[in-house]
Amino acid sequence: MTGLRVPPSAAAPAPPRRPGRAAAATGWLRWGWRQLTSMRTALVLLFLLAIAAVPGSMLPQQGINPQGVQQYYQAHPSLAPLLARLSLFNVFAAPWFAAIYLLLFASLAGCVIPRTFRLAGSARQPPPRAPGMLSRLPLTASYQTRLPPAAALADASRLLAGKRFRLRTGDGWVSAEKGYLREAGNLLFHLALLGVLVAVAAGGMFGYKANRLLVEGDSFANTITDLDAFHPGRAVSADSLQPFSITLDRFRASYISSGAQRGQPSGFNGYIRYSPQPGDPSRRYDLRVNHPLGVDGVRVFMIGHGYAPVFRVTDGTGRVVFDGPVPFIAVDSAGFTSEGVIKVPDARPRQLGFAGVFLPTAVDIGGRLRSAFPAPDNPAVSLVSYTGNLGMNSGPAQSVYTLDTAGLRRLPVSPRPLAPGQAMKLPGGNGTLTFTGYRQWMSLAITYDPGTVPALIAGSAALAGLLLSFFVRRRRVFVRARPGPDGRTAVELGGLARTDAAGSFETEFAALAAELESQTEGE
């Protein structure tokens, strides 16, 4: 018996072919791009960016207020290292903040740019054809006129055109639409939001931030070597800095002297002289809180102040090896008790170091020296003396506000308060330290951000776009005319508002219908 041959048409169907790896990867990439460029993702990223910026406004930032960061370390020694590992003292330069920022930029770009082309295409499209049954629309009206249908439609066209409706005519009908600016406002908002991100990125790329602590009587020029801290953008070089200079003539801090708010500050004034260019005549300015100095596109803010006791140190050989002010950092806001160190690496026969406190209004409370008021009513310093190797010639760089006592030996002299003009003799032939007085200092934040004005313009455009999208309504009006009984023309009107939450289009439509009817009756 011979076997049956199955015809090719009856053979079992071949299993479906699985897509290759390249096609699968492409599909996943397209899916990921669609998710990233959705409006929902953009809103989530915008919300995350706002949440991420909160620590930058609540915690002191290294690039703006390094003294505040140091004080936070002193006040919270266990919490501050954890926050530093999370980059919360430098939020706007943190990798996670940059990741959110770049994702938001890509999301908005992928969402807005295609919509721009779609809007440009829809803006050229005429209104849709008039529906066959206008009675099914939300708003309808009808009347009769002696005019023929063509003349009635012509009157309707002139009236709607005068109301700035975009028209489209056909056989026995007129279609009109108005409110295209609503979509334009929505698009303007998103483009402006994208412009804000571009402006902020440009400011971070071409701008810079710097800090400088300036003691009364001192000057500095806006150069990298003359700044205490410098945080440039990626496109900023040493030649990009504006060549201005500033001198602090006098600093004045005033405090409330009585009442429940005694000791609270009432005003800070930094009387400075500045020169925009080398060789230019100097100009005077009263630098105050929230009243920055603007010079050559740079803004200079006052962000802190303090005291700088002045010391003169004579070493064991009789030489004056140190004579000048030393900035101390406040650790107590009530009495403005300030801590600081003095390093004298040139002293002989051994290097000298001092650590202590400055008390603006020194008082003895229970055998302990404290400051009762932040103003310098009774200034005094109390220092602990060390000798040995300061460790400044080897190892990592040291902070000017801390003293490494690993290679030092404390001198056997009890710390006692020194008033201006008093001296402390160091035992073992190590010399003498004299507290000659004090000066005040202020801390400056120097900021150059070329993206500020573009961001302001983009923000204003975003607000204008929101107003357009909120107050402009997209609405359509359709008119049909046909011969009616008794030789009259029956005119039907229909209205449709795509967005009319307030319901005001009903009033506008009724007014249009009444005006059109009265116009045709008068002819």
pLDDT, tens only, 84-120: 888 888 888 888 988 988 898 888 888 888 877 777 7
Predicted confidence (pLDDT) at residue 17 exceeds the cutoff of 80 = no
Structure tokens, 156: 């309707």
Predicted confidence (pLDDT) at residue 522 exceeds the cutoff of 70 = no
- Percent of the chain at pLDDT above 70? 93
The backbone torsions φ and ψ at residue 221, rounded to the nearest 5 degrees and listed phi first, read: -110, 150
pLDDT value for 14: 60
The backbone torsions φ and ψ at residue 493, rounded to the nearest 5 degrees and listed phi first, read: -125, 145
Q: Which of 128-137, 199-208, 284-293 has the highest mean pLDDT?
A: 284-293
Structure tokens, 453: 């004005």
pLDDT value for 499: 65
Structure tokens, 120: 């440009």
The span from the CA of 168 to the CA of 162, in Å, is 14
pLDDT digits (tens, 9 = 90+) for 413-445: 888 899 999 999 999 899 999 999 999 999 999
Going by DSSP bridges, is the β-strand pair 362-365/368-371 parallel, antiparallel, or unpaired? antiparallel
pLDDT digits (tens, 9 = 90+) for 462-506: 999 888 888 888 889 999 999 987 888 999 999 988 765 556 788
pLDDT value for 500: 57
pLDDT digits (tens, 9 = 90+) for 141-194: 998 888 899 999 999 999 999 988 989 999 999 999 988 777 788 788 888 888
Q: Which of 45-49, 297-301, 505-509 has the highest mean pLDDT?
A: 297-301
Q: Which residues pair with 45 in a beta bridge?
A: none
3-state class of 78 per DSSP?
A: coil
Predicted confidence (pLDDT) at residue 66 exceeds the cutoff of 80 = no
DSSP 8-state assignment for residue 354: E
pLDDT digits (tens, 9 = 90+) for 365-396: 887 889 999 999 999 999 999 999 998 877 66
Q: What are the distances in angstroms from CA 199 to CA 13, 105, 203?
A: 60, 12, 6
The closest alpha carbon to 447, from 197, 209, 169, 211, belongs to 209
Reduced DSSP (H G I as helix, E B as strand, rest coil) percent helix, strand, coil of the chain, to 5: 35, 30, 35
Fold of 127-178+473-521: TATA-Binding Protein (3.30.310)
pLDDT value for 425: 94
Structure tokens, 420: 């201006």
pLDDT value for 503: 61
Cβ atoms within 10 A of the Cβ of 318, count?
Answer: 9
Rounded to the nearest integer, the mean pLDDT of the chain is: 87
| Residues composing the chain | 523
DSSP 316-333: TTS-EEEEEE---EE--T
Domain extent listing, the chain: 29-120, 127-178+473-521, 208-448
| H or E stretch at 190 | helix 181-206
pLDDT value for 379: 96
Q: Residue 32 region, left (φ>0) first, then alpha (ψ -120 to 50), else beta?
A: alpha
Structure tokens, 407: 């290679």
| More reliable by pLDDT, 8 or 457 | 457
Q: 195-233 burial, b if ≥16 CB within 10 A, otherwise e?
A: bbbbbbbbbbebbbbbbbbbbbebbbebeeeebebbbbb
Predicted confidence (pLDDT) at residue 75 exceeds the cutoff of 50 = yes
The closest alpha carbon to 105, from 44, 40, 45, belongs to 45
The span from the CA of 341 to the CA of 358, in Å, is 10
The span from the CA of 329 to the CA of 308, in Å, is 9
The span from the CA of 360 to the CA of 379, in Å, is 4
Q: What are the distances in angstroms from CA 289 to CA 224, 359, 396?
A: 25, 24, 36
pLDDT value for 1: 44
pLDDT digits (tens, 9 = 90+) for 259-275: 888 989 999 999 999 99
| More reliable by pLDDT, 110 or 215 | 215
Average pLDDT over residues 397-416: 85
Q: Which of 306-315, 325-334, 357-366 has the highest mean pLDDT?
A: 306-315
The span from the CA of 22 to the CA of 37, in Å, is 22
Q: What are the distances in angstroms from CA 134 to CA 6, 129, 362, 482, 492?
A: 63, 11, 90, 13, 7
The closest alpha carbon to 134, from 484, 492, 513, 476, belongs to 492
The span from the CA of 10 to the CA of 4, in Å, is 12
Predicted confidence (pLDDT) at residue 276 exceeds the cutoff of 90 = yes
Sign of CA dihedral 230, 236, 239, 242: negative
The span from the CA of 503 to the CA of 506, in Å, is 6
pLDDT value for 8: 54
Q: What are the distances in angstroms from CA 491 to CA 81, 165, 166, 480, 497?
A: 79, 19, 20, 6, 20
**Which region among 10-14, 180-184, 317-321, 394-398 has the lowest average model confidence (pLDDT)?**
10-14
DSSP 8-state assignment for residue 382: E
Strand intervals (E) in 337-412: 338-344, 351-359, 362-365, 368-371, 380-388, 408-410
Q: Which residues pair with 356 in a beta bridge?
A: 340, 383
Contacts of the segment 495-498: beta carbons below 8 A, 24+ positions apart: 495/137, 495/138, 495/139, 495/140, 496/137, 496/138, 496/139, 497/138, 497/139, 497/473, 498/179, 498/473, 498/474
At 37, the pLDDT band (50, 70, 90 cuts) reads confident
Is 312 within 8 Å of 434 (Cβ atoms)?
Answer: yes
